[in-house]
Chains A and B, each alone.
Chain A
Amino acid sequence: MKKKVLALVVLVLFICAGTMLWAAAAEEAKEEKVIFWGFYDLTDTADSRAAFMAEAINGFQEDTGIMVEYEQVAWDQMDNKVNLVARSGGDMPDVVQGAAENIPGWVNAGALLNIQEPISKLSWYDSLDQFEKNMFEKNGERYAVGLFIGGGNYYYDLASFPNGLPETAEEWLAEGARLKKEGKYALTGFMGKGSGGAAVAQGYAPFFWSNGGSVFDEEGKPNWATPQNIEVVEWVREMFAKGYMPEAAFTGDWTASEIPFTSGKAGAVRGGSWSFIYMEGLEDRYNRGEVVIAAPPSFGDQGYVFANSETFAVTKGAENAENAIAFIDYFVSNDERLAGWANAQFGTPTTATAQKAEIFGNQFYVDTAKNLFTHGHVSETSPYYNECSDALATTLQELIINQRLDIQTELEELEDLMLKLYW
């Protein structure tokens, strides 16, 4: 009997010791990782951004001993996924990659951690561009760090505009009429629905700003049925109805909307600083001097393009919050690394020191920086950014395609619906 009791005691002790060891090992392992949701497929070596990210992650792991658990979430799915997981109480990562306009919505969903204090203690904080600080610091709170600044670029095929590049809305209509006779469109670019209402942020909003209008007011509420905005919609309608812009711009398919330009059937395209990666043949045409970056269409004294920043944000309740800050620090603290990351995205880094890197002296960056500094406009934000932008992009598409619809009535009704649904 004694032997049995002794054996039982030994067994219990053995199980307890094993459990404690396992718990200790698990705790140790927990401290040495960071879970990261990023946009890119790290196995795609042909993608400069993915290759850079993979190399940076390896470097971070080697330098700090913190392992990175990476999960790819496509850029146009990230907003949905973060919102869904945050609202349903699912497992969040520690760090999330996102666009600046996603941040207020994620804060509203209770997804993000205020990281003002830890970030302001880091060595590179004072070197952060004022553009970045204006974007991400509000009322002493910061929920993300901007890594690079990018934005809209209007690319012009010089041979299509022998009389000079159009700037004002009237000049665009005149050039549209001339080019139509040659069987070409004046302008193309994504103006469809979907992709998180990107057509609004990149296409319509800069026109609205140029005409004195806006997308959201200071509280982030929709502000659409204004005379300034309606005038812009009428102009886009005219460009479309007269065949100066292709239907492909309204299909909701990004690549399809750019094909008229890449195939030589459109004189200009609205793209982004990142279009060098995506738009077929653009880099070669640009380097040969056939294509230039120039002023966007203007409705008043000033034409605009949207300016944006890609961010890393730390989630509320992150199990590895300190490692998450270390991960951000790793990217931003080293000028060469931050410059390399911005270059891989064809953007400008957010710290003054990284901006001095040699690569930003080439013609593309000089032209892009000039364009963004002259015409760049920060996108307005809203806690219901995606919901409102998507709805507006859809209604604008309806208004452009169906010329019988009354612009003011439709925009007022949509504005009213959004206010009822979300505020």
Chain B
Amino acid sequence: MKSKISLNSSYPYLLSLPAVLLVASVSIYPTLFSFYLSMTRFRSGAVQFVGLKNFSILLSTSHFYESLSATMVFLVFYVAITVIVSLLVALMLNSGIAASGLYMTVIFLPWILSEITSGVVWRWFFYRDYGILQNLLGPLFDNATIITTPGGAMGIVTAATIWRSVSFGMLLLLAGLQTIPKEVYEAANVDGAVGFIQFRRITWPLLFPTVIVTTAFLTIQAVNNVGMFLSITDGGPGRATEVLSLYMYREAIQYFNLGYGASLSVLLLLLNAVLAAVYLRFLKRENALAA
């Protein structure tokens, strides 16, 4: 009897063990190893333990704060604009317009292209003399090469990343919109609540949890984004678009400065964790209010 109880109680753990082992090997172990790497440095193929020296160097250099600042600027503009545009597109597609399938396909195309391919195309758009967008927008910037100005370069990467991510945000929000019961809208119509009032009183409150989740996903994407920066500006001009993830990539992958790169990845993980915690808190508060 005792052994049967024991078997029954351990059965769920046994069933989940393969998945736990898999997650541990591909996620938990590399994360812990990154913490270890962040306290080492490599010289001539040998590993030296240096304690917190990498963090001390990192936090004392202005490059880190420049990168953090570039990351935050990108994060705010990218997430805010992507959520707004995605919401507008989702509302449009949810309103039952004709040929919505065609629109959806067109909107989805950028998402299925690789980051590097998209990035290279966007860089070509802004080539001096040849770039179509450079020629169109140049007069607005005193005919400067837009990609060589710090603000212009950040604007180009932000725009390109938004162009790529709108479909992702739209998909999540559209799914959220479709979970709102039609009866609620019908009742609102009977009561005379239409248009923007309907959106403010019904759609927005019911969609808010999905907006929070979408924002959290986009935030994590923004903080970890390397490909678009690498392929469009390579962090330039100077370090104007060298966000933290690109800084980490450059140190770890390009210069094989694995310890320093790992210390950057640890700080990125903390940044992601803090931002995720903020969003979860929003979500919890919203759920509590709804209850």
A16 close to B (CB within 8 Å) = no
A256 close to B (CB within 8 Å) = yes
Residues of chain B in range 218-264 having any CB-CB distance to chain A below 8 Å: 233-240, 242, 254-257, 260
The count of chain B contact residues (Cβ–Cβ below 8 Å) is: 30
**Minimum CB–CB distance for A262 against chain B, Å:** 10
Annotate B175-211 by CB proximity to A: 1 below 8 A, 0 otherwise.
0000000000000000000000000000000000000
| Overall SS of chain A's interface | helix
Residue of A83, A194, A247, A253 with highest tally of chain B CB at under 10 A = A247
A398 touches B62 (CB 8 A): no
Interfacial chain A residues near B238, Cβ < 8 Å: 193, 394-395, 397-399, 401-402
B144 close to A (CB within 8 Å) = yes
Interfacial chain B residues near A193, Cβ < 8 Å: 234-238
Given known contacts A387-B255, A413-B62, is B57 in contact with A421 (CB within 8 Å)? yes
Given known contacts A83-B256, A398-B238, A401-B148, is B128 in contact with A417 (CB within 8 Å)? no
Once the chains are docked, how many angstroms separate the CA of A399 from the CA of B239? 10
Q: How large is the interface on A (under 10, 10 to 19, 20 to 34, 35 or more residues)?
A: 35 or more
Residues of chain A in range 268-293 having any CB-CB distance to chain B below 8 Å: none
Given known contacts A108-B44, A194-B234, is B148 in contact with A251 (CB within 8 Å)? yes
Interfacial chain B residues near A252, Cβ < 8 Å: 233-234, 236-237
Once the chains are docked, how many angstroms separate the CA of A399 from the CA of B268? 27
A118 close to B (CB within 8 Å) = no
**Minimum CB–CB distance for A102 against chain B, Å:** 14
Residue of B nearest to A250 (CB): B148
Once the chains are docked, how many angstroms separate the CA of A80 from the CA of B252? 11
Once the chains are docked, how many angstroms separate the CA of A253 from the CA of B240? 16
A386 touches B145 (CB 8 A): no
Given known contacts A108-B44, A193-B238, A402-B238, is B61 in contact with A417 (CB within 8 Å)? yes
A251 touches B255 (CB 8 A): no
Given known contacts A248-B145, A398-B239, is B127 in contact with A256 (CB within 8 Å)? yes
Closest 9 CB pairs between A and B? A398-B238, A247-B145, A247-B148, A387-B255, A397-B238, A420-B57, A248-B128, A110-B45, A401-B237
Using CB atoms and an 8 Å cutoff, list the residues of chain A in contact with chain B. Answer: 80, 83-84, 86-87, 108-110, 192-194, 246-248, 250-253, 256, 259, 263, 386-387, 390, 394-395, 397-399, 401-402, 413, 417, 420-422
Using CB atoms and an 8 Å cutoff, list the residues of chain B in contact with chain A. Answer: 42, 44-45, 57, 61-63, 127-129, 144-145, 147-150, 233-240, 242, 254-257, 260
